[in-house]
Chains A and B, each alone.
Chain A
Amino acid sequence: MDKAVAKPLVDIQNLTFSRGERVIYDDMSMQFARGKVTAIMGPSGIGKTTLLRLIGGQLKPDAGHIWFEDQDIPTLGRRDLYQARKKMSMLFQSGALFSDMTVFDNVAFPIREHTKLPEEIIRMMVLMKLESVGLRGARDLMPAELSGGMARRAALARAIALDPQLIMYDEPFAGQDPISMGVIVRLIRSLNDALGLTSIVVSHDVNEVMSIADYVYVVAERRVIGHGTPEQLRQHESPLVQQFLQGLADGPVPFHFKAADYAQELMELKA
C-alpha cells in the first residue's frame, strides 16, 4: 500500500456491524485524512454514534478493519486499546461531564489520570484549555450550573486536555441555540487548525456541517451513499443525498413509516 504522505489517520475498510438481527453497516469503507475536519451526515437512527464507538473500540464490528495509525482497533487487546484511546477523544452529545466534580476538576481529570505532573502545571494546562473554549471564568462551577452550550464547551476543553490526535464529535450542534451553535462551529474549526487535530463530526445539521467540513460522508441505508467536499456534494446526482441536504420531507426516504394500506386499515376499524 502507498502509505507515504496521504495516509489517513483513521481508515475504515469493509466494515460490517449488526445489532441483533438488524444490520447497521454493510461492507462500508471511509477514510479520515490527517489534519482535516471530516463530517459524517445522515438521517437519525442510522448508527452514526455507533460508528464513533466502533472507532473508539467500545464496540466490535462483525467484520472489517478500523485502522487508527498502524493499529487495527478491533484486534487490540485491552492494554493496547487503552493506549490507543489516549490519542483520541470523544465529545459526547450530553457532554458526559462528571457531575460530582467542578469544571476545573473535569478538565484536569484525564491529565491527573494519565500523567504524574505537579499540580501547578496541571492548573496551567487546565486554564489554557478552558481559556481556549472561553470558560476560564467558569472553572469553579459544577456541571449542573452550566447551560447546555457551556457544558458542551467544558466537555470540549476536557476532550483536548491531553492534546489528542483525533477528536470525535457526536452531534455537537444538537439542541443548541444559534449563538452557542455558532460558537461551537467556530471552535471545532479553530481547534482543529490550531492544535493540528484530526476531527470527525457526526451530525445531521446540514448547514453547520457543510460550513466547516473539509470532506463529508453521507451515510444512509447501511452504507455511504455519497461523499466529497461540500461543493462536490451539493452537485451530487443521488436523489437521496439531495433529499437529505435540502431537507425535503418526502423522497427516497419516505415520510411515512412502513404501514399497512391506509384505506384498508381505516375500514378495519369500522368493522
Chain B
Amino acid sequence: MILDKLQQLGAATLETIQGFGRATLMLAGALWGRPRFVKAWPLYIKQFYVVGVLSLLIIVVSGLFIGMVLALQGYTVLSKFGAEQMLGPLVALSLLRELGPVVTALLFAGRAGSALTAEIGLMKATEQLSGMEMMAVDPLRRIIAPRLWAGVVCMPLLALIFTAVGILGGHLVGVDWLGVDAGGYWSAMQANVDFEQDVLNGIIKSTVFAFVVTVIALHKGFDAVPTSEGISRATTQTVVTASLAVLGFDFVLTAVMFGG
C-alpha cells in the first residue's frame, strides 16, 4: 500500500522532471540560431496580433474594473483615517507592483495561453507539425518561436496597459464619483511612486510571468497527446499550471524585490 503510493510519487516526480527536460529542449530548439525576423516577419506580426492585440479587450475591461473596485474599497478604509488623498498611491502601487503583472498573467493564461495550447495540440494531432518537419521546415522555429516572442513581448505591454487603465478607473471612481481632489490624486501618486522600485520591478515581474506562461502553454501544446481528449487535458493543464506558476513566481519575486 505505502509502497504503491511511494511508487506513484516517484513516477509523478520523474514525469515532471522529464516534462521540464522536454520543455527545455523545445525552448532550446526554438531559440537556437539567429531568429529569422526578416524572412519571417509576417509570422511574427500575425502572432503579435493574435496573442497581443486580441487580448486587449479583456485586459482593458478587467483593468478598468479592478481599478474602480480598488478605489472604492480603498476609499472606504482611507476615509476612516481622513487619508483620502492617499488613494492615488494606493491604487497605483497595488496595480504596478502586484495586480497589473499578476492579473494580466492570469488573464493571459486563460485567453491566449489556452488558445496557443489548443492550436499547437491540434496541429500536432492533424500531423501538420510532422508534415512541416518532413518538408525540412523546423516547426520549433516556424511555429514555436514566433509565438514565444509574441507572448514574451506582448504580456508586459498588456500589463502596462492594464495598470494605466486601472489607474484611470481609480480616478473615475475616486475623483469623479467619490470626490477625492484630482490634484491630490495625481500629485500624491507622483510623490509616492518610484520608477525603479515600482514601475521597473513591475515590468520585470511581468516579463518573467510572460516567459513562464508562454513556455508552459507552448510546451503543453507541443507535448499534448494527439487526441481530442489529450488536447482538452493539455489546455486545462496550461491554465492551471500557468496560473499556479505565476502565483508562485510572484511570491518569490515579491520577496526578492520588496521583502528586504
Question: Which residues of A pack against B, CB within 8 Å?
Answer: 53, 56, 58, 82-83, 85-86, 88-90, 92-94, 96-99, 109-110, 113-114, 155, 158
Contacts and interface: CB of A to CB of B under 8 A. Distances in A.
A28 B137 CA distance: 30
A43 B215 CA distance: 40
Interface stretch (B68-76, B126-134, B195-203): B126-134
29 contacts: A53-B130, A56-B133, A56-B134, A58-B133, A83-B136, A85-B134, A85-B135, A86-B136, A89-B134, A89-B135, A90-B131, A92-B127, A92-B130, A92-B131, A93-B127, A94-B126, A94-B127, A96-B127, A96-B130, A96-B131, A99-B126, A99-B128, A109-B135, A110-B135, A110-B136, A113-B135, A113-B136, A113-B137, A158-B135
For the residues of A in contact with B, the DSSP-based class is mixed
Contacts of B133: 56, 58, 85
Nearest to B127: A96
Contacts of B137: 109-110, 113
Given A58-B130, A85-B133, A89-B135, 9 more contacts: A56-B133, A88-B134, A96-B131, A97-B128, A98-B128, A99-B128, A110-B135, A113-B136, A114-B136
Contacts of A109: 135, 137
Contact of B138 (A56, A82, A93): A82
A185 B135 CA distance: 23
A155 B131 CA distance: 10
Contacts of B126: 94, 96, 99
Contacts of B136: 82-83, 85-86, 110, 113-114
Contacts of A90: 131, 134
A191 B60 CA distance: 55
A97 B128 CA distance: 6
Contact of B134 (A58, A98, A114): A58
Nearest to B46: A100
Contacts of A83: 136
A204 B137 CA distance: 30
B25 to A, nearest CB: 13
Q: 8 smallest A-B Cβ distances: which pairs?
A: A96-B131, A96-B127, A85-B136, A82-B136, A92-B127, A90-B134, A110-B135, A86-B136
A98 B132 CA distance: 9
Interface string B127-156: 110110111111000000000000000000
Nearest to A53: B130
Contacts of A86: 136
Contacts of B138: 82
Contacts of A155: 131
B24 to A, nearest CB: 17
Contacts of A98: 128
Contacts of B130: 53, 58, 92, 96
Nearest to A86: B136
A56 B138 CA distance: 14
A192 B126 CA distance: 26
Nearest to B122: A99
Contacts of A56: 133-134
Contacts of A97: 128
A88 B130 CA distance: 14
A5 to B, nearest CB: 29
Question: Which of B128, B133, B136, B138 has the most A CB atoms < 10 Å from its CB?
Answer: B136
Interface in B97-138: 126-128, 130-131, 133-138
Nearest to A85: B136
Question: Which of B130, B131, B137, B138 has the most A CB atoms < 10 Å from its CB?
Answer: B131
A141 B117 CA distance: 26
Interface in B204-221: none
A257 B4 CA distance: 31
A53 B130 CA distance: 9
A180 to B, nearest CB: 19
A83 B135 CA distance: 10
Interface in B183-199: none
A235 B127 CA distance: 38
A22 B145 CA distance: 35
Contact of B128 (A96, A110, A113, A114): A96
Question: Which of A83, A109, A155 has the most B CB atoms < 10 Å from its CB?
Answer: A109
A98 B138 CA distance: 14
Nearest to B126: A94
B184 to A, nearest CB: 52
A159 to B, nearest CB: 9
Contacts of A114: 136
Contacts of B127: 92-94, 96
Nearest to B142: A113
